Amino acid sequence: PAVPAGAGLSFGPIAPVDKAVDAFVVPEGFSWSPIIRWGDPLFADSPAFDIHSQTAAAQERQFGYNNDYLAIVPDASGTSGVLVCNHEYVNPNIMFPASSDPAVLEDRANLYKAAQGMTVVELTRPAVGQPWSYVQGGARNRRLTVETEFELTGRAAGSTLLKTIDDPSGRIVRGTLGNCAGGLTPWGTILSGEENFNGYFTAPTVSAERKRYGLAALTTSTTWERYDPRFNADNPGYENEPNRFGYIVEIDPQNPTAMPLKHTAMGRFKHEGANVIVGDDGKVVAYMGDDERNDYLYKFVSKHKYNPKNNPGARKQNRRLLSDGDLYVAKFTGNSAAEIDGSGRLPSDGLFDGTGEWVALTHKGESAVPGMTTEQVLVYTRLAADLAGATKMDRCEDVEPSLATGKVYIACTNNSDRGKAGKNAPADEANPRNGNRDGHVIELTEVSGQGGTRFAWNILLLCGNPATDSTTYFAGYPKEQVSPISCPDNVAFDSEGNLWISTDGAPSKIGTNDGLFKVPLEGPERGRVQQFLSVPRDAETCGPVIHDQDGLVFVAVQHPGEEGAWEAPHSLFPDYVDADGGGKFRAPRPAVVQSWRSSAL
């Protein structure tokens, strides 16, 4: 049984867990349970999950694969609510046995479309402070897939760059791809970033624009190009299909019939996610990373002001805030630049820090980049940012402002190309370690208003195992007293303003499973990294949601057992029983997990 609400989240940090261990580990005194797993039925008519007779039709009515971003949005009662999750990609090698039957392979290709996208599902619980259960057949339950229609918004909507033979309007896109991190807006909608969309297309004819987005003559792992002409960008009429992905999407989890949106005003790149804060002037500011080695950090500032009222008119106005405004890219200047040599050694002023500028890519919604039209800036944003002289970053993953302080936290996950010959990205003060193996976290402070163009910054954490890596840094906190951490990916805040960081990549870097870590940002404990949980073998920790006042921590466990095979699973998470109930074949299931204190301190 759960300890009643108010027990809070005091915990003793767990020890790091070796990468060979297939276990979900929480602190002493805590329990955990999955809320929903890949294949769980969502609707009254959904078939139960049967790993041996999966079909595209069933998957469309079930929870999708590889959950990444997660939002838990309670209703006013506190005993009902919605869970929103996205589904980034699929792992066919551990979802099914190998097959060479053409009919089976075609249905699997369709199943992959149904297993990606997003899910909205209702939650219920007996009382505040208790763990949640999902509601099969809930009125707000919804699946969005690679076939769901999205409306393009902003000034590139309707442009010739976005028209295809199926959509001569250039305004309605089927599907969303590669959804990674996201954010919950002040007006209650969900944002999600379309990240590695290029990998779903084959694009044999190369152009500068295609090349800059990693589009190439690929044989895709989903095989869609064999069955659906829009995934071969050389097919006549589909040349622009890849231009219709790589956006921030917005969905309304309270209204299952609301049209989902794709916002061109927020630019097109490998969007990790977006997180919004309302500035003093009422305009909203969204922070966004492009997760590619040596790509950039962006922000969007709305033209219109947020309407804080909770009525249908206000909600309708707020739903258009991200359709019109200006896009900026970050340029960092270090104050110890001459001392940076790629070693990660602290400069003589004791900090990796400096100032910076948000360089406008649009002004009053129109192109601010000489030689590029507004539509080109919004669709080929990476090329616009190249021309603006933006700072090449160590893969910006989640970027999130603290709603308590307005400071922005940027997870730079790692960058094997930093300082590498031929990559034209020498170490700089904001990215100070050559070959950046373990990543770092930057703290950015706006100095001319949340939507302004000047900022200050410092590095909060240089990640790694402090026992073996002298370049690690924890905001000056004693290194002997922190948990090792590698490859920061998603970030979140608790009600006290502490930062929580989930990781993706620790097994191959420091030999331990990925996890979730708490880091105080203020006072004597600033920089004290403490591990809260550890995810199973090969998994990534995603979508942390910290409801500390409710005594609950949530994570999305993505790609458990990814390095295994159908015949030789690496993980049996989360049920740890044979999916056959004693039979021959078993498989892990990506799932959303909640954790709570179950015995008193």
Least distance to Ca ion, CB of residue 398, Å: 7
Tell me: does residue 290 bind ligand FEO (CB under 6 A).
Answer: no
Least distance to Ca ion, CB of residue 410, Å: 13
In whole angstroms, what is the distance from residue 553 CA to residue 72 CA? 10
What part of residues 173-212 is at the interface with Ca ion (CB under 5 A)?
Answer: 180
Tell me: does residue 562 bind ligand FEO (CB under 6 A).
Answer: no
Amino acid at the residue 429: E
Show the site string, 194-213: x = touches ligand FEO by CB under 6 A, - = not. -x------------------
What part of residues 87-126 is at the interface with Ca ion (CB under 5 A)?
Answer: none
Query: Whose Cβ is closer to ligand FEO: residue 273's or residue 356's?
Result: 273
Tell me: does residue 336 bind Ca ion (CB under 5 A).
Answer: yes
Contacts of 231 (CB under 8 A, 6+ apart): 200, 201, 202, 220, 224, 225, 241
Candidate list 351, 482, 587, 591; residue touching Ca ion; CB under 5 A: 351
What part of residues 531-550 is at the interface with ligand FEO (CB under 6 A)?
Answer: none
Candidate list 22, 40, 60, 88; residue touching ligand FEO; CB under 6 A: 88
In the list Ca ion, ligand FEO, none, the entry touching 195 (Cβ below 5 to 8 angstroms by class) is ligand FEO
Query: Whose Cβ is closer to ligand FEO: residue 284's or residue 487's?
Result: 487
Query: Whose Cβ is closer to ligand FEO: residue 41's or residue 289's?
Result: 289
What part of residues 13-72 is at the interface with Ca ion (CB under 5 A)?
Answer: 68
In whole angstroms, what is the distance from residue 26 CA to residue 14 CA? 7
Q: Number of C-alpha atoms within 13 angstroms, CB side, residue 224? A: 24
What part of residues 370-399 is at the interface with Ca ion (CB under 5 A)?
Answer: 397
Query: Whose Cβ is closer to Ca ion: residue 223's or residue 336's?
Result: 336
Query: Whose Cβ is closer to Ca ion: residue 133's or residue 221's?
Result: 221
Contact between 320 and 263 under an 8 Å Cβ cutoff? The reply is no
Query: Whose Cβ is closer to ligand FEO: residue 40's or residue 291's?
Result: 291
In whole angstroms, what is the distance from residue 191 CA to residue 212 CA? 24
Residue with tokens 């303003």: 497
Contact between 176 and 118 under an 8 Å Cβ cutoff? The reply is yes
- Where is 518: in which H helix or E strand? strand 515-519
Burial of 307 (0-12, 13-18, 19+ CB in 10 A): middle
Contact between 355 and 453 under an 8 Å Cβ cutoff? The reply is no
In the list ligand FEO, Ca ion, none, the entry touching 494 (Cβ below 5 to 8 angstroms by class) is none
Least distance to Ca ion, CB of residue 274, Å: 13
Q: How far is CA 136 from the centre of its chain?
A: 26
Query: Whose Cβ is closer to ligand FEO: residue 214's or residue 365's?
Result: 214
In the list Ca ion, ligand FEO, none, the entry touching 353 (Cβ below 5 to 8 angstroms by class) is Ca ion
Least distance to ligand FEO, CB of residue 543, Å: 11
Least distance to ligand FEO, CB of residue 55, Å: 27
Contact between 288 and 248 under an 8 Å Cβ cutoff? The reply is yes
Local structure of residue 57 (DSSP, 8 states):
H
Tell me: does residue 291 bind ligand FEO (CB under 6 A).
Answer: yes
What part of residues 390-429 is at the interface with ligand FEO (CB under 6 A)?
Answer: 397
Least distance to ligand FEO, CB of residue 199, Å: 11
Q: φ, ψ for residue 397 (rounded to 5)?
A: -95, -125
What is the per-residue DSSP string for 199-266? GG-B--S--HHHHHTT--S---SS-HHHH-GGGBTTSTT-TTGGGG-SSEEEE-TT-TTSPPEEEGGG
Tell me: does residue 180 bind ligand FEO (CB under 6 A).
Answer: yes
Candidate list 252, 272, 353, 357; residue touching ligand FEO; CB under 6 A: 272
Query: CA gyration radius for the chain?
Result: 23
Where on the chain is the footprint of ligand FEO (CB under 6 A)? 88, 180, 195, 272, 291, 397
